[in-house]
Amino acid sequence: MEQNRLQNLKNQAILNIFEAKTEQELEELRVEYLGRQGELSQLIKKISLLPVEKRKQIGELINETKKIIQEAISSQKKSLQHQLSPQEDWFDITVPGERPPQGHLHLITLAISEITGIFEKIGFGKVAYPEVEWDWYAFEGLNMPQNHPARDEWETFFIKDLFSPQYGQAVLTPHTSSGQLREMERLGQPPIRMLNIAKCYRRQIDASHAPMFYQFEGLVVEPGINITHLKGTLDYFVKQYFGPQREVRIRPFHFQFTEPSFEVDVTCIVCGGRGCRVCKQGWMELGGAGMVHPAVLKNGGLDPQKHTGFAFGWGVERVLMMKYKIDDIRLLFGSDLKFLEQF
């Protein structure tokens, strides 16, 4: 059925495109067929409803249709431009066709959708909480009172003259953990399975730190949640994202907002866990995790006597760099086509 729909869509699109008389008309057709609300996008959204064995086939057909429509649009655009300047109006069918350069989504965008897809399969809903945040959500409510030394880790940008008597100073959000409190407030009660992916900011810059970066934060609060669920979830993610050979371990650590807290390691992508100069005895650090601290549950409006939950927070660029063995985060923000075209 989808095949027919795609075939009709393609035929009709091509007819309309080659009949377009102005660039404005072409642009309208582009939005109609390829835009976010367009038919193709609607179909893409529905792919996950199809039986697994059909998804690949339909996905490929959709991509092919999209490509054909894009090519028709740029070819019609060219011919309209030539019509506008008659002196250039020539057509030599022996000249080999010109392929317009075609870009693709940026690596980080691709990583975000891949990570989202992995967690959506196990019931996590994606949210994006504010990039400009109040002190309460970024620190105080996460069990880091004013002047607590733990705050130093977050090398925060403060926003001058923006202060709320209730929530404190405004900051550029230094981590996605603030989303934990916001999600608890939003839902008011379990079950909670949140994936918060948002931009974060810290005063830092070197090969592995950028002043703006993305984190993804998971939060699960449901009856009977314990560490085995956390470990199982991390293991699931790592195997899906890095491949089935990867192992995960959790190591005791300290965060103010989880108790107990862990750092999470994955077996090294370079040496496969034997030990090399890139890793620490076969392990690479991925990020933090832990069981949500009772004070955080309370601050989010939940009863810590009744509820337990786990949380984890990792850098999007960090997992991406580990997957492709990229050794400098700045490459991801540099817009160097030689680098980007490798992916």
Residue closer to ligand DAH by CB (options 41, 116) is 116
Q: Is 289 in the site for ligand DAH (CB under 6 A)?
A: yes
Contact segment (CB under 6 A) with ligand DAH among 191-199, 232-240, 285-293, 323-331 equals 285-293
Residues in CB range of 208: below 8 A, 6 or more apart: 318, 321, 328, 329
Strands across the sheet containing 248-253 = 125-127, 192-201, 212-221, 309-315, 283-292, 258-267, 248-253
Nearest approach, Cβ of residue 297 and ligand DAH (Å): 13
Q: Is 307 in the site for ligand DAH (CB under 6 A)?
A: no
The sign of the CA dihedral 208, 212, 213, 219 is positive
Nearest approach, Cβ of residue 230 and ligand DAH (Å): 9
Q: Is 288 in the site for ligand DAH (CB under 6 A)?
A: yes
Residue closer to ligand DAH by CB (options 169, 180) is 180
**Residue 313 pairs with which residues in a beta bridge?**
217, 288
Tokens of 234: 């991390």
Exposure string of 216-255, with b = 16+ CB inside 10 Å and e = fewer, is bbbbbbeeebeeebbbebbbebbbbbbeeebebebeeeeb
HSE, CB side, 13 Å, CA atoms: give it for residue 258: 27
Nearest approach, Cβ of residue 220 and ligand DAH (Å): 11
The vertex-185 CA angle with 175 and 141, nearest 5°, equals 50
Nearest approach, Cβ of residue 130 and ligand DAH (Å): 15
- From 26, 181, 311, 321, residue interacting with ligand DAH (rule: CB under 6 A): 311
- From 177, 233, 267, 299, residue interacting with ligand DAH (rule: CB under 6 A): 177
Q: Is 273 in the site for ligand DAH (CB under 6 A)?
A: no
202, 174 contact by CB (below 8 A) = yes
Task: Show the site string, 100-129: x = touches ligand DAH by CB under 6 A, - = not.
Answer: ------------------------------
Residue closer to ligand DAH by CB (options 34, 150) is 150
Nearest approach, Cβ of residue 154 and ligand DAH (Å): 7
- Dist. CA 29–CA 26, nearest whole Å: 5
- From 39, 133, 135, 217, residue interacting with ligand DAH (rule: CB under 6 A): 217
Q: Is 299 in the site for ligand DAH (CB under 6 A)?
A: no
Q: Is 140 in the site for ligand DAH (CB under 6 A)?
A: no
Residue closer to ligand DAH by CB (options 153, 303) is 153
Preceding omega of 191 cis (within 30 degrees of 0) = yes
292, 221 contact by CB (below 8 A) = yes
Residue 206 DSSP label: B
Q: One-letter amino acid identity for 275?
A: G
- From 30, 175, 246, 318, residue interacting with ligand DAH (rule: CB under 6 A): 175
Q: Is 255 in the site for ligand DAH (CB under 6 A)?
A: yes
Q: Is 312 in the site for ligand DAH (CB under 6 A)?
A: yes
Preceding omega of 260 cis (within 30 degrees of 0) = yes
Residue closer to ligand DAH by CB (options 140, 217) is 217
Instruction: Note the residues at the interface with ligand DAH (CB under 6 A).
Output: 175, 177, 217, 255, 258, 261, 287-290, 311-313
